[in-house]
Amino acid sequence: MKPMSNHPRQGMRLMHVHAHPDDESSKGAATTAKYVAEGVDVHVATCTGGERGSILNPKMDRPGILENIHEIRRQEMERARDILGITQDWLGFVDSGWPEGDPKPPLPEGCFALVPLEEAIVPLVRLIRSFRPHVMTTYDERGGYPHPDHIMCHRVSMAAFEAAADPERFPELGEPWQILKVYYHHSFNRPKTQALHDAMLAHGLESPYAERLAGWKPEPDWDARITTRVPCSEYFGVRDQALLAHATQIDPDGSWFAIPRELQEKVWPTEDYELVTSAVESTLPEDDLFAGIDEAGSPGE
């Protein structure tokens, strides 16, 4: 969907920093679609190519597919990008994979999670200074879940956020740019999961979350970190189409689609975030990632 040229949010820019192709569709994609429809320029920075991702959709598990997985995942990303109406850049790092075993094996040499931080932030600093986002989203210090690339994505995002605004750092990468607000995704928070689980049971349906909730220790202080709930249920369909574009990673018969969309829209019509830092005034809790920026007239331009 192309933004309206006279929309009051024309000129606003939002950057999402993600670890792998498909993360942009599984975390905050309905928010993305909402802002694209409102005229916001949304750009995704994808840290790795997802080269070490497994084939998680049985229908796509064909002989030899892993030999070409890098190109396949780039093509999937292109389809998702078109569905969401975004632009996107690859930061060029190599997927670290998910270490399995006890003890866990060392990470592969040269992978994203092992790149020195000062080196790893360079492409993102360059991108921030060229795209000049007003708002950036990334993962919390746990990575959302403890994949080494997600944790590294957090570290790189926050270090690049600081460096991009500092005129003494990396002057060769462009003019400094101060991002006004930074958020962490809280996509898979426990209250949301519990609410959807309870709703499924109340409707006599089998919940895909029973096992997950049984082993999920309540952390009320962690859940209280959510500051911002963006209403975006009318874009859940766009989110789902973007997810399905990542055909090697998303099983259409799996847990991603086990909750009827009508139930999701009724029970939890928002995507949830934590405001980490802000250079503008806004009142918490929020329902808009751009709260305080519209009123401030896009400072920094």
pLDDT in tens, 123-159: 999 999 999 999 999 999 999 989 999 999 999 999 9
Q: What is the DSSP letter of 40?
A: -
Tell me the average pLDDT across 45-71.
84
Category of 97 on φ-ψ map: left (φ > 0), alpha (ψ -120 to 50) or beta: left
Q: How many residues does the chain have?
A: 301
Least confident segment among 70-74, 263-267, 293-297 = 293-297
Q: How high is the mean pLDDT of the chain?
A: 93
For the packed helices 148-164 and 122-131, what is the interaxial angle rounded to 10 degrees?
50
Residues in the annotated binding site for Zn(2+): 20, 23, 150
Residues in the annotated binding site: 20, 23, 150
pLDDT level of residue 295 (50, 70, 90 thresholds)? low
Domain map of the chain by residue range? 13-189+226-296, 190-224
Residue 247 has pLDDT above 50, yes or no: yes
Residue 299: its pLDDT value, please?
Answer: 47
For the beta carbon of residue 233, count every other beta carbon within 10 angstroms.
19
Helix runs in 165-235, H state only:
190-202, 210-214, 220-223
Tell me the average pLDDT across 24-45.
97
Residue 187, classed as helix, strand or coil, is coil
For the packed helices 29-37 and 236-245, what is the interaxial angle rounded to 10 degrees?
120
Residue 162, classed as helix, strand or coil, is helix
- Are the CB atoms for 131 and 161 separated by under 8 Å? no
For the beta carbon of residue 69, count every other beta carbon within 10 angstroms.
18
Rg (CA), the chain: 19
CATH of domain 13-189+226-296: 3.40.50.10320
For the beta carbon of residue 116, count every other beta carbon within 10 angstroms.
7
- Are the CB atoms for 163 and 116 separated by under 8 Å? no
Residue 248: its pLDDT value, please?
Answer: 92
